[in-house]
Amino acid sequence: MSWINDRAPIQMKYYILFGPPGAGKGTQASAMVERYNLHHISTGDLLRKEIKAGTELGIKAKTLIEAGSLVPDEVVEGMIENEFKTVKGVDGFLLDGFPRTLAQAQALDELLARNGSEVTAVVSIMIPDEMIIERIRHRATIEGRADDANVDTIKNRIATYHRQTEPEIAYYDAKGKYYQADGVGTIEEVRSRIFDIVDKF
């Protein structure tokens, strides 16, 4: 009997990059992907692709995104499942912008459990609210995102984050999976705080 054939499959890692809008998730995701051989899934990027392509989903999502509201849970859950199924050759996935509601967090747990897996860790980048507006307004001048250009939209995104997304902290903390990195500092400083957390897994 061969040990190689009997070896347990390597456990895929599922990291969630958590934090308010503008915390620097996209920036830090690139560094993590490279260091840990992960596939980056940004639900915001996937939705923006749909908008650009003018799909039915994109047309529906556009209005919600530009108002600073969330798109329906089923829409993003479907996108995530599709990525899990189609992407091969990585050691794990880095979820950025998902889950964003407790219902999405529960759906993710169920989806992973069905495949004999689970969330590895939630890495949270924390910045104070005052800094969110400053960072997003700066990004607006670089990336030209419609939802970054309007202060009322940004304020609604912050409110949406506190109301719908922040409750996930207690959810994952209760499971012993929540890790927080201070998001204030240079890109390199924040990156090394994140690596200190993720290197342990």
Decide: is 111 part of the binding site for ligand ADP (CB under 6 A). Answer: no
* Residue choice 14, 15, 16, 21 for contact with ligand ADP (CB under 6 A): 21
* Residue choice 32, 47, 119, 190 for contact with ligand ADP (CB under 6 A): 47
CA–CA gap between residue 49 and residue 193 (Å, rounded)? 31
β-partners of residue 92 are 13, 38
- Residues 141-160, one symbol each (x = binds ligand ADP by CB under 6 A, - = not), give ------x---------x---
**Which residue in 161, 143, 152 sits closest to 19, CA to CA?**
161
Is 135 one of the catalytic residues?
no
* Residue choice 13, 17, 24, 44 for contact with ligand ADP (CB under 6 A): 44
Amino acid letter, 176: G
Pairing label, strands 178-182, 121-126: parallel
**Which residue in 104, 130, 138 sits closest to 20, CA to CA?**
130
Please confirm whether the linkage preceding 20 is cis (ω < 30° from 0). Answer: no
Instruction: Pick the closer one to ligand ADP by CB: 12 or 140.
Output: 140
Contact 68, 155 (CB under 8 A): yes
Instruction: Pick the closer one to ligand ADP by CB: 44 or 92.
Output: 44
- Catalytic residue, candidates 13, 48, 135, 139: 139
Instruction: Pick the closer one to ligand ADP by CB: 121 or 154.
Output: 154
∠ CA(193), CA(80), CA(8), 5° rounding? 75
Catalytic residue positions, numbered: 25, 100, 139, 145, 157
Q: Which residues bind ligand ADP (CB under 6 A)?
A: 21-22, 25, 43-44, 47, 64-65, 69-71, 76, 97-98, 100, 104, 147, 157
